[in-house]
Structure 1
Amino acid sequence: MSQDTKYTEDNIRSLDWKEHIRMRPGMYIGKLGDGSTADDGIYILLKEVIDNSIDEFVMGAGKTIEISVQNQRVIVRDYGRGIPLGKVVDVVSKMNTGGKYDSRAFKKSVGLNGVGTKAVNALSSSFKVESTRDGRSKTAEFEKGNLVNEEELEETSRRRGTKVTYIPDESIFKNFRYRDEYIEKMLKNYVYLNPGLTIIFNGEKFYSENGLKDLLGDSINEDDQLYEIIHLRGDDIEIALTHSKSQYSEEYHSFVNGQNTSQGGTHLAAFREALVRTIREYYGKNYEASDVRKSVVSAISIKVMEPVFESQTKTKLGSTDMGGKLPTVRTYINDFVKTHLDNYLHKNAETAEKLQRKILQAERERKELSGIRKLAKDRAKKASLHNKKLRDCRIHLGDSKKERYLETTLFITEGDSASGSITKSRDVNTQAVFSLKGKPLNSYGLTKKIVYENEEFNLLQAALNIEESIEDLRYNNIVIATDADVDGMHIRLLLITFFLQFFPELIKENHLYILQTPLFRVRNKKETIYCYSELERQQAVNKLSGKAEITRFKGLGEISPDEFKHFIGEDIRLDPVMLDKDMSIEELLSFYMGKNTPDRQEFIIDNLKVELDLIAE
């Protein structure tokens, strides 16, 4: 055995807490990213800090939280009790230290692992915590988790509470920028779940009087609500419910202990089951589950003692019981829905009638579709055996125990050359490719029948696995990768129309993106710079002063696989497709896909918040 392969005590190295977090950040915050997707690390860090302030509000201390995000510096200030002064350093820098281990103080809190603010501290280039209580305060400052300054107690007239200021470390979160839309959505969820709490973000106030009823009111236009939102509250449970007049799919917002469980879990499965059972019993008819739930828009929040989540980022509940002497999650939710929804329907005959008409309409549509559906499923099965359209990856969104499940991405490309470049340069673990044959159909105003009849849409739906429910979605990010020209723009629009028309919750839940690809390559013998705009091209030419060779990319197919891996690797640039909050999906669709108006391009740029400056080239 050679000397260098010996395994001795010297080989065993113990990492301290901050080194471990910095070396394996994915274990603590899911994924890094640059801020273009809602579950990128910079938002998880912000969430971890806010969670502590929320816990103070839940305990009855501090009704206001102030948040400022300017460029890369984040400040979160609450008016809670303040961290005990002797423990300020420990709470943000010693693992498994925190008040939440004393379950009397925090019976139904989410952050029980004692990691939250430690991860923020370790992953920030600068991190400062100030605690004020009983007229005295203490400050501690860190850099990358190392304590660099600690100020002794001092008398102060400042209001009690905790203030955390930090800047995420750019050597870990590369080229990141915050998107206010993602932060605002997170803060809205906090106020919906904590009526009476005020959050002020960069001067804008967020507040909710009616909890989940307000969430649904914000999510679905009043004109599109089939009946007035049903709002049910009980001990440790709150539910809001309506059906949409125009939407095909089911839409759910689910929460556990104030945590948005975007991937659902045992509580959401129980709620979907309880809804069907209660409605069947109320009408005395054995309706098909999918007919009852078609077009439902709903929110559920429960509180559980010591919840078990299926992933570190707590997006899917795995617990089967409520904790203590309470029944199982399933029984608890079923009993609550059975009693309260049944009572509501008995007292509100008009709602009950509208709901029954909606179920019968869904049943008719399903029967009309059943033959086509069967044919389409058989076709999709056959196609998947030799499906050249989908080149799948190894990890999927449902594999929440695997570290990289949040990175799973499906690229939708046009033409063989672009598909070929992406396929050859992708990461086969987390990136899949779906190839389109030219322009997809304009699905505006068409019924769900077309999804089954049109082979391309049917195979895309099958690849995403979203026919029954968005809960089964196989990829976290769906990325439209088309050329930056007029044809590419048109294909983007047709695909966005398809998702808006049949699966709008994919856009509402921030799963749909446009891939930015470079317009120019500027290089000399020493350096190559890829430029995404005319301005970046100018800057690159100035930087490489002298004789720079400039190449203009006309289509994705021109970019070699070796180059392509730069644009879909860690430097990937994605533009999220977001809905405009002042417009319903119906208005959106009819405005820009109904009549071929000259306003279309201007409208898209204003309302879908996708930076389309590339198209102007």
Structure 2
Amino acid sequence: MSEETKYTEDNIRSLDWKEHIRMRPGMYIGKLGDGSSADDGIYILLKEVIDNSIDEFVMGTGKTIEVSIQTERVIVRDYGRGIPLGKVVDVVSKMNTGGKYDSRAFKKSVGLNGVGTKAVNALSSYFRVESTRDNKSASAEFERGELTNEEHLDETSRRKGTKITFVPDEDIFKNYKYRPEYVARMLKYYVFLNPGLTIVFNGEKFFSENGLKDLLSENINESDRLYPIIHLRAEDIEIAMTHSKTQYSEEYHSFANGQNTTQGGTHQAAFREAVVKTIREYYNKNYEASDVRKSIVSAIAIKVMEPVFESQTKTKLGSTDMGGDLPTVRTFINDFVKTHLDNYLHKNPETADALQRKIIQAERERKELSGIRKLAKDRAKKASLHNKKLRDCRVHLTDNKKDNYLESTLFITEGDSASGSITKSRNVNTQAVFSLRGKPLNSYNMSKKIVYENEEFNLLQAALNIEDSMEDLRYNKIVIATDADVDGMHIRLLLITFFLQFFPELIKKGHLYILQTPLFRVRNKKETKYCYTPEERAEALATLGKNPEITRFKGLGEISPDEFQHFIGDNIRLDPIMLDDNMSIEELLSFYMGKNTPDRQEFIIDNLKVELDVVEEGLPL
């Protein structure tokens, strides 16, 4: 028997808790990432720590949580009961240790697996926990899960509560950066779900009086609401909904036990079904479900006993029962919506009339589109047989049982040379490529009809699988990969316009990105450095010594497949497309894509950046 095929006691190895977390971080925090995506690991670490502070608030203690992020150091301080002083080390370093196993203390807790802070500890180069209660305190410091220091104070004037400080480990999270926009959105969700809670983030206060009604108020301008936000709540459930005057797609914000279930789940499916059923019964008309839900903007939050999520990162609820003596999730939500939404519509006939007019308008538009839709689908089917626009990957966002489903990415490229380079160097498991023939159409102010009439838009919609619902989206990241020249910028703008016009939820939920590619390659015989900015080029020149070879990349087509793999692999750099909360989508599109107004001309002149290929002193190009 060869050495390779021997299987003895020596082959069996037990990992301790921190080794396992560090070896398989994806099992605990999903994907790693660098902070460019809202579901990257560094935000999951923050969430795991805050969840414990939220549980204290839910239990009636600690109405304020303070969060500070300075570069890579994160501090979370609550004013809850504080961890029992004799258990400070165990709670953050022993698996299956925590208060949440005692259901009397945490009935409908956010986290139930006792892993959260242990994962943060193991994945941090520095971790400190400090607890204060009964005028005494205890603290412990760790490096990558190893205890380095422990202190006890028998007397202190500090306020009770828990303070956690951590620095994510750069060996695991490469080139990471916390983006304040993502952190702020996460913290806002916490206050929307916990009215009365104050969270202070780097000095800025977040507070909500009206829960999910405030969430919708932030997401849809008053001028775009078809009717005032309907806000209904009872024990263990809260919903808010309206319909948009301008938006085509359905938009859902769903939560279970405080978790933002970005991929929906049983509660979201039940809510979509319940709204249609209730509205059909109220008007006594068998309206098409898609007509009822078209343009809906809504939020639902429920609390269940011992929730079942479909992944460690808790992005999709799998629970079918509410727990205890309560009915199924579906029955519970159906009964609540049937009673409360029906009552609301009876008491608010103006809202009921506006809603019915919207449904009838949606029905009319659907019937007008039905012929062209069928033609477009037939065309797409034929195209998919011999069309080379889409080079698909093997793992998709809908495969949420697979470890790497969150890595699923679609690159949208221009021209054959760029798409050829990406196709040859991509990861065929998780990276797909969609190739544009030329500049897409400017879809501003056009109706949904254009999506079916325009072959390129129709094929892109089919590739993403978002025609009927965002729940079926096939890729977690949609990455626009165009040249960094005027034409490339224009294509980016036209694609962003398309998504804003017809599928804004893709952007609102953080799925759309711009691929950064290097401007320069600097190399000598021993080493090659790719530089994304003039500053990085200057650093490379200083590092590589005299007379290195410098290449300026003018387009993606110039970069060979062998080189491209460096820019779309582990070190990929992405710029997320984010919406400004202070501007509606309609205002945004009108300003950038509407008539050429003096305001826009002034904006372009004020923000114009001209890059000149000059020879800097001592830095030849």
Query: Which TM class, normalised by the smaller chain length?
Result: over 0.9
Q: Which digits, 9 at most, give the CA deviation of each residue in 1:350-383, with x for residues without a partner? A: 0000000000000110010000001111111111
| Structure 1 stretch displaced more, 133-142 or 595-604 | 595-604
Check 1:556–1:3 CA distance in 2 against 1; reply closer, same or farther (3 A cut): closer
Q: How does 1:397-412 map to 2 (within 5 A)?
A: 397-412=397-412
Trace 1:43-442 onto structure 2 (pairs within 5 A).
Answer: 43-442=43-442
Q: Which amino acid counterpart does residue 82 of structure 1 have in structure 2? A: G
Q: Is the 8 A contact 1:67 1:77 kept in 2?
A: yes
CA distance in 1, matches of 2:521, 2:249: 43
Q: Which residue of 1 aligns with 2:508?
A: 508
Q: Secondary structure at the match of 1:77?
A: strand
**Does structure 2 conserve the Cα–Cα contact (< 8 Å) formed by 1:592 and 1:604?**
no
CA-to-aligned-CA distance 1:541-570 (integer Å, 9 cap, x gap): 122120110111111011011100000001
Q: Which amino acid aligns with 1:258?
A: G
TM-score by length of 2: 0.97
**Contact 1:94/1:118, CA 8 A, preserved across alignment:** yes
Question: Could you tell me which amino acid in structure 2 is paired with residue 194 of structure 1?
Answer: N
Give the letter for the 1:109 counterpart: S
CA gap 1:164/1:471 in 2 versus in 1, 3 angstroms? same
- 2:70 and 2:367 map into 1 onto residues whose CA distance is 54
Shift of 1:152: 2.3
Local SS of the residue matching 1:567: coil
SS at match of 2:262: coil
Contact 1:486–1:615 under 8 Å retained in 2: no
Change in 2 beyond 3 A, CA 1:603/1:163: farther
1:600, distance to aligned residue in structure 2 (A): 4.7
Q: What corresponds to 1:451 in structure 2?
A: 451
Check the 8 A contact 1:251/1:297 in 2, yes or no. Answer: yes
| Deviation at residue 459 of structure 1 after TM alignment | 0.3
* C-alpha spacing 1:597/1:534, structure 2 compared with 1 (3 Å): farther
2-structure distance, mates of 1:302, 1:18 = 33
In 2, Cα distance between equivalents of 1:177 and 1:45: 13
Distance 2:332 2:270 in 1: 9
- Give CA-to-partner distance per residue, 1:238-263, whole Å, 9 cap, x none: 00000000100000000000000000
Q: What code does the residue aligned with 1:280 have?
A: R
Please identify, of 211-220 and 531-540, the stretch whose mean Cα deviation from structure 2 is larger. Answer: 531-540
Classify the secondary structure of the residue corresponding to 1:366: helix
Shift of 1:539: 1.8
**Distance verdict in 2 for CA 1:251–1:580, change over 3 Å:** same
Paired with 2:468 and 2:606, the residues of 1 have a C-alpha distance of 32
CA–CA distance in structure 2, aligned partners of residues 256 and 604 of structure 1: 44
Opposite residue 338 of structure 2, the aligned amino acid is: K
Where does residue 540 of structure 2 map in the other structure? 540
CA drift of 1:110 comes to: 2.3
Matched, 1:596 2:604: no
Instruction: Within 5 Å, give how 1:427-576 maps onto structure 2.
Output: 427-576=427-576
User: Quick check: 1:393–1:430 contact (8 Å CA) kept in 2?
Assistant: yes
**Secondary structure, counterpart of 1:155 in structure 2:** coil
State the Cα deviation string for residues 26-65 of structure 1 (Å, max 9, x = none).
0000011000000000000000000000000000010000
Q: Cα 1:515–1:5, aligned 2, differ >3 Å: closer, same or farther? A: same
**Alignment coverage as a number of residue pairs:** 613
Q: 1:381 is aligned with what amino acid?
A: K
Alpha-carbon distance between aligned partners in 2 of 1:134 and 1:151, rounded to the nearest angstrom: 16
Instruction: Please give the alpha-carbon distance, in whole angstroms, between the structure 2 residues aligned to 1:410 and 1:606.
Output: 34
Give, in whole Å, the separation in 2 of the partners of 1:524 and 1:598.
Answer: 49
Q: TM-score, normalised by structure 1?
A: 0.98
CA distance in 2, matches of 1:605, 1:389: 37
Structure 2: distance between partners of 1:462 and 1:15: 45
Question: CA separation in 2, counterparts of 1:99 and 1:605?
Answer: 59
Structure-2 separation of matches of 1:603 and 1:347: 47
The 1-side partners of 2:456 and 2:601 are apart by 26
Is the partner of 2:395 in helix, strand or coil? Answer: coil
Which secondary structure state, in structure 2, belongs to the residue aligned with residue 566 of structure 1? coil
SS of corresponding position for 2:119: helix
- Give how far 1:511 is off: 0.4
Q: Secondary structure of the residue that 2:76 maps to in structure 1?
A: strand
Distance 1:266 1:4, change over 3 A: closer
2:595 and 2:265 map into 1 onto residues whose CA distance is 42
Aligned partner letter, 1:373: R
Change over 3 Å in CA distance of 1:271–1:616 after alignment to 2: farther
Report the alpha carbon displacement of residue 596 of structure 1 after superposing the two structures with TM.
Answer: 3.1
| Cα RMSD, aligned residues only | 1.5
Instruction: Classify 1:566/1:20 alpha carbon distance in 2 versus 1 (closer, same or farther; 3 Å).
Output: same
What displacement does 1:311 show?
1.1
3-state SS in 2 of match to 1:269: helix
Indicate how the Cα distance of structure 1 residues 605 and 67 shifts in structure 2: closer, same or farther if over 3 A, else same.
Answer: farther
For 2:442 and 2:357, how far apart are their aligned partners in 1?
Answer: 30
The secondary structure found in structure 2 opposite 1:75 is: strand
Q: From the superposition, tell whether residues 12 and 509 of structure 1 become closer, same or farther in structure 2 (CA, over 3 Å).
A: same
Aligned counterparts of 2:442 and 2:372: Cα–Cα separation in 1: 20
**Which consecutive unaligned segments of at least 5 residues does structure 2 have?**
614-621
- Shift of the alpha carbon at 1:384? 1.4
Unaligned runs of 5+ in 1: none
Cα distance in 2 for partners of 1:441, 1:602 equals: 25
Alpha-carbon distance in structure 2 between the residues aligned to 1:379 and 1:606: 45
Instruction: Find the aligned partners of 1:330 and 1:600 in 2 and give their Cα distance.
Output: 49
Could you give the per-residue CA deviations for residues 74-128 of structure 1, whole angstroms, max 9, x where no partner exists? 0000000000011100000000100000111111112101100000000000000
CA distance in 2, matches of 1:186, 1:164: 18
Give the letter aligned to residue 170 of structure 1. E
User: Whole-Å Cα distance in 1 between the matches of residues 611 and 242 of structure 2?
Assistant: 39
Shift of 1:154: 2.4
Superposition deviation, residue 401 in structure 1: 1.1
Q: Which secondary structure state, in structure 2, belongs to the residue aligned with residue 401 of structure 1?
A: coil
Deviation of 1:480 (Å): 0.2
Q: Distance in 2 between matches of 1:602 and 1:404?
A: 45
CA contact (8 A) 1:35 1:42 kept: yes
Contact 1:415 1:438 in 2 (8 A): yes
User: Which residue identity is paired with 1:384?
Assistant: S
Secondary structure, counterpart of 2:428 in structure 1: coil
1:540 to partner: Cα distance: 1.3
